[in-house]
Structures are given as structure tokens and as C-alpha cells.
Chain A
Amino acid sequence: MLIPALLFASVWVMVILLLSQLPLLFIGRVARRWALSLRAGVFLSSLIFVVNFFTGSVFSAIALTLRFLVLLTAFSLFFMTTSPDDLGLALDRIGAVRWLSRKWLGYPNALSFTFTTAVRLVPTLAVDAQTVVDAQRSRGLELDRGNLLRRIRNYIPILIPLLLIAIRRSLELAEALESRGFPGKEGRTSLFQLKLKRGDYAIIGISVGAIAVSIWIFFHYRVPVF
């Protein structure tokens, strides 16, 4: 999905790509969350549109905005349908990651573990953030008053406790994990393992095919912007 999106700057292509992503959204049951993430992307989308409108044609503006949406959707799809654990397991098997991890941290599985743990701790930290906001508001802190400078300063009583809580939590977690043998010896095994199924091969096949076709079209035709 990424390669065709980046190769072309045509409205038609983008519309086709976007439409082809829609069924995937429904299969992955993430359609509603995707719609929400689109809302977050409105600012950037409008920016892209406006800049390109003034530096190019209205059609190239539309095309590039759509490209942004296609990329956004592609990434969203990926992260919303893949559990952090599976991601971790996949990362664990990539030789390059293991090598890097061994070089930087001393253990082959440390890097992917850092990634997945960080992802897992985000919701917990979000709850803590809300608690800190509640606690400081209960001491009279008003976050929605004052000029820009004051508002930024008002976030210090939020950020510092949050930072410290994050650090303390990581330390406690590290302690608990080390007490259960982490990181262990070289030969760490995994109870679960990702296996490539028939469906996965099919997707890989289709993707490779789509990339090949895109590259061929790119070199042989000029696809009009509109």
C-alpha cells in the first residue's frame, strides 16, 4: 500500500487505494477508531491541501491530501490490528533487531521487549495522567486559564509527577521482572510463536504483485493527475 501511494501523485490512484483499504478496515473491525484518527488528522490534511493548492494545481492538492490519508490509514490499520505482543514476537525474530539489541543492550530480546512494554504501559500511564490532573485541580490548579505562557507553566505540576510515576513504575516493574529471571540466558524460549498461515502467504503474494504492477506502470505510463 505504501509503495504505490508514494510512487504516484494522481487523484484516481489515491481514490482507488483508499477504497481498497476500506474493506480491510471493516474486516479488522477498526472502522470506528479509524474514523476518530481521521479527525485527529484534519489539521495536517488541511495544511497539506492549502500548501499544495497554492504551489500547484487544485488536483495535485487533492491527490497529495488523499495520499496523506492513505498513508495514515495504512499505518493506523497496521497498529490497530496488530497486538503489541505479536509485534514483539515478530520483532524478536528479525535478525537485524536481535543483532542491534545485542550490541546496544547486551541481550537479543531486550529491544523488542522494550518496545512492547512501552506500548503496554501507555494505557496505564494515561490513567495516571488523569489522576495527576485531578489531584492538582483539587489543589486549585486551573489548566484552562491565562495566556499561553501561563498555560505552559501550569503543565509543570502535571508533567513532573507523571514523569516520576513513570520512572517509579518502570523501576518496580524491572524489579519484579528481574525477580522472575529476566533477561535470562541466551536461550530464551517463547510459549507462543508466530506461524505463517496460508492467508498470510496470500497477502504477501498480493502485496508483492501490487508493488510489481505499480512499478511497471510507473515506468511505462504517465498517470494523469486527474
Chain B
Amino acid sequence: MITLEHVSFRYSSGYLALHEIDLSIQGGDFVAIMGENGAGKTTLAKHLNGLLKPSQGRVLVDGEDTRKVSVAHLARKVGLVFQNPDHLLFSETVKDEVAFGLKNFGFSPEVVEKQVGRTLEALGLAEYADKSPFLLSGGERKRVALASILASEPDYLILDEPTIGQDYQQKERLRNFILQLYSQGKAVVMITHDVEFVAESNPKVILLSKGQIVGKGSADSVLSRDEMVNRASLVKPQMSRLFGELTKYGLPRDVVDVHRARILLEDKLGEVKAPVAQNP
């Protein structure tokens, strides 16, 4: 489990980026951290693997205080995937790139080879194993970056804005992949402002604004409330806005997912078409 206890963080310039954050993440959790640009989401992410140490309070990863251990040590358990893959890629082949983390952690060549093969398969990158990562398209490079972090099978996976620039199909694949991961018992934390993606993935949502947590809860409860959404400079998902207009027909307000919306409307429209016969 990763716990943040009363964490505050002030940059050397004096700017207070995080204020009194209390949070815990455990295996099997799927969490989305949302908020406007500059809310402190990335700063928060960097506390999870020790890149940044809190100015006040502490961060515990499986019981270890992040101030007392190295980033390399924490990186074995906490995989942080940065937003822009170009900040990571440097190897001659995709295989080498994916092996980088494993080699840093001191695994034997046999283990490295096995893990690299498995991860490439899982992410559909096997055909690119011997290609140069720089020749791949943007979406493929993002997957290689993700593979390079996943290869060492960290318990906690932190994804910083994984959906930017992706088309709908790529986002679907990502969603399915995340589903696999947290159902295997890993924890997946996603930093994003893609409201519709969150609406369809149903994670636990944490809203961050100006360095503070301003909302916590399930996607449908948090994203359907105007005050919360406005405070974090987000927009309510389409379903939520739609159902906001339909409450007078007795429909619930906290709907964000299109499939739940459909079921609710099927029932309601079914009623309208064939009203329940009253007892004479």
C-alpha cells in the first residue's frame, strides 16, 4: 500500500504545490487523479516513487518512508510512466529499451530475456522487437515506453496522461489493458483530464485543485456534481449533462457511463411505451 500522510510540498521557488494531501492506494485499486493543468497532479505522482520528497508529512510505500530509500529502490515497486515517451527512449532496439529497467534492477540475462518477450507480446509490440524505437509512430512509442516500465512488473503503475493524442481505438485498448492489470491485483493510478475516458472506465476519482484534494469518490458520484467539476476546471461527461436535463422524468442524476445510461433509458422508455396496467 502507498500512503500519503498530510503531505505538503513547496518548490524551492517558494510555490506551494501540494497542501495537506491524505491518500492511500492499495493493490487492486484503479484511481484517476484529475484536475486542471497546474493543479499539482504530476507533482503528486512524483511523490509516489520518491522523485520528490514531501516538505511536510510523509509518503510510505509498503511501509518504507520515501525519504529514507532511493528512487531506484522504489522504482522496483512503483512504475511511473511519463507523459512524453521521447523523454525515455534512447536504445537501439525496442528490445533493449524494454530491457533497460530490468537490467538496472540487476536481473539475470535469462530473466531479462523472458520478461522482455512476455511484455512485448502483451502489448502487441513483438513484431517491433528489433526495430529502432525512433522509427515508430507516436502511439507505438507510447506503448514501448509503457512496456519498458511494465517489464519489471511493478506493483503500482502510475500513468501520466496516457490518453493524450490517442484515437478512440487506442484508448479502448488501453482501457482493456488497465482492466487486466488491476484485476491481477496491481494498483493503477492514472493522471488525466480526459473526462469521457474516466466516465467509461469507472475508476475511483480524486479531484485535485490548486494542490488540494477537493473531491474523492466513484466516477459517477464525483463527475456528476457541478461544484466539484467546476472547482477542478473540468467539464461534466456528456451522459451526466444529459441526465441533468432529464431528472424531471424521475431519472437519476449521477450517470456518467453510456451503457448504464442506456439501461436506465430502456427501462424508462419501455414504461412510456407500455405503461404498467393499473389494477381496475
Contacts and interface: CB of A to CB of B under 8 A. Distances in A.
| Contact between chain A and chain B defined by CB under 8 Å | yes
Interface of A: 128, 131-132, 134-142, 156-157, 160-161, 164-165, 168
Interface stretch (B57-65, B70-78, B260-268): B70-78
A161 B82 contact: no
A78 to B, nearest CB: 26
Given A135-B82, A161-B87, A140 B46 contact: no
Contacts of B101: 139-140
Nearest to A154: B104
A161 B134 CA distance: 10
Contacts of A161: 86-90
Contacts of B123: none
Interface in B77-128: 79-80, 82, 84, 86-90, 100-101, 104-105
Contacts of A141: 72, 100, 104
Contacts of B71: 137-138
Interface residues of B, number: 25
A168 B86 contact: yes
Nearest to A145: B72
Given A134-B46, A134-B51, A164-B134, A139 B86 contact: no
B46 A156 contact: no
A219 B106 CA distance: 70
A140 to B, nearest CB: 3
Given A134-B46, A139-B101, A139-B104, A128 B79 contact: no
Contacts of B82: 131, 134-135, 138
Given A140-B104, A140-B105, A157-B100, A135 B88 contact: yes
A134 B149 CA distance: 14
Nearest to B48: A138
Interface of B: 46, 49, 51, 70-72, 75-76, 79-80, 82, 84, 86-90, 100-101, 104-105, 134, 148-149, 152
B105 A138 contact: no
Nearest to A164: B86
A132 B90 CA distance: 11
Contacts of B105: 140
A139 B87 contact: no
A142 B86 contact: no
B86 A140 contact: no
Contacts of B149: 138-139
Contacts of B104: 139-142
A161 to B, nearest CB: 5
Nearest to A136: B88
A136 B89 CA distance: 9
A157 B86 CA distance: 11
A98 to B, nearest CB: 36
22 contacts: A128-B87, A131-B82, A131-B87, A135-B88, A136-B88, A137-B51, A137-B72, A138-B82, A138-B149, A139-B149, A140-B104, A140-B105, A141-B72, A141-B100, A141-B104, A142-B70, A142-B104, A157-B90, A157-B100, A160-B90, A164-B86, A165-B87
| Most central of B76, B82, B149 by chain A CB within 10 Å | B82
Contacts of A165: 86-87
Contacts of B134: 164
A24 B241 CA distance: 62
A168 B105 CA distance: 31
Nearest to A163: B90
Given A131-B82, A157-B100, A138 B148 contact: no
Contacts of B75: 137-140
Nearest to B71: A137
A131 to B, nearest CB: 5
A165 B87 CA distance: 7
| Most central of B70, B79, B86 by chain A CB within 10 Å | B86
Contacts of B100: 139, 141, 157
A156 B72 contact: no
A141 B76 CA distance: 11
B72 A142 contact: yes
A142 B105 CA distance: 10
B97 to A, nearest CB: 10
A74 to B, nearest CB: 29
B86 A156 contact: no
A156 B82 CA distance: 19
A140 B154 CA distance: 12
A135 B72 contact: no
Contacts of A136: 88
